[in-house]
Structure 1
Amino acid sequence: MTTDDLDTTLRSAALNNAGFCDAVCRAHGLPADFDGEYYWLSTSRTPPLYPDAVTLSPETEAPSLLQWMDTDSPGCSVKDSFANLDLEGDGFEVLFDAQWIHRPAGAPADGASGLEWSAVADDGELEVWEAAWDGEESTGLFRPELLGEGMDIVFLAARRDGRIVAGAVLNRAGGVVGVSNLFAHDEADTDAAWTGALTAAAARWPELDVVGYESGDDLDAALRHGFTAIGPLRVWLRTSDKTRYLRRREK
């Protein structure tokens, strides 16, 4: 992959991820600003586990993001897609680092899933899927508005003996397919989950590359299934303690 190709792929991965964040937020009725070039952001606090902003270019500057965001209440977060922002002076700390991953279109999925796969079709099934993904219960994070052909989003469920034991989400945006929220209740099913998700992506969008981001053991699993790590990303979280400290310092 040339330098130009890598840059394009990284931007596509960030744009794809922002597209899914945007869909989740809009399903919750939250306003968002998606300029398509430098950033995506929500002007209101986003649902749990979802950032308030995603950078779409390494040229994006912190002030252009923070001026529109709710940085006063706890929990404000930024997905720094190119790991090149310094937000410590603005009261943020690093929540985690990860790697963007890429898999070319047409690459066959290795192995056999051994599980019964299907797409979540209705509200009740989505609630069961979220409970399986969460490991405890459904909190309503994923709204029924995310279902449907026009959304270009697919919630995949893998069953054994009728029970959901693994799953993932596919979304088409930015000219690529994103794989996210992949889970398996049994560690032995992790490879089966990747195989099932990639098989489903190839069946729906065979002409599109597949992207996502992972870290740690999850990154190792993705690399086993034909992905390449293509660049770092970083998620920043603004804590209430730091916010109070900055306010005192500014007075």
Structure 2
Amino acid sequence: MSAPALAACAAAALTIGVTALSAVAQLEVRQRVAGAADAAALAASDAAAGWSDAEPCALAGETAAAARAHLVRCEVDAATAEARVIARAGTPFGAVEIRARAAPDADPVAVIAGTPGANGWAWPSGSRVVTQEFHDGMSIDLAVGPDGLLYAPYDGIVVHAGEDGGGIPQACRSNPGWWRGPNHTVVMRHEYEGRTLFSSHNHVAPSSSRALGVETGDRVLAGQAVASAGMSGCTSGPHTHFTLATHATNAFPDVNPYDYLGPP
């Protein structure tokens, strides 16, 4: 093959590679901004409904920023507490904007199984056995009880229930037999003593939240069953990968859960 032909092939391969990287980057940012927009709208609606003392759009902005997105618009209907927001994040290939809306739901018909402690926090599993201490930040792995139910650790609102959009982690690249398909998660937002925290259960059984009457946007109570343990994501057996964080994702949490849950 001539030198010009080789150069042309190399240029074409480079173009294809850049295009593929661009598509992946855009998808990852879009998923993150969608989660940020949903969480921001829910935060503003909650504040407007009196669940938080914060100014609705200020809280929405803080929530979006915690997910590395910028709130570019926030409108709240004072009469209905409905919130509409637009969140944005930039990429090397252009900005991504996502719209979201939220409004208060009726009070949930809660399935209360966990028992809150004196501070109002409940242990998030039916077993107090910790199968793996801090990893991937301050995540902990918890065994589950015979019924496999997973609980809300504190009163709050569900900001996401379903696939988390993450890829195959390195642990499953090294151990392919552990990969069970996309990880399903339940992420909840809590207001506690002036602090906004986000908890999550991971590896949950797909559709188990819906089976318990729990969906994105629902308010939940401490000790309420919000999902069932499953085998989704990268796991060698049923358990919950539990996180508590100051940001609205389930990745690399930055809060020690024992500070709120108490010791095992």
Using CA pairs under 8 Å that are at least 6 residues apart, name the structure with larger relative contact order, 1 or 2: 1
Work out which of the two has the higher radius of gyration on C-alpha atoms and give 1 or 2. 2
Q: Going by fraction, where is helix more abundant, 1 or 2? A: 1
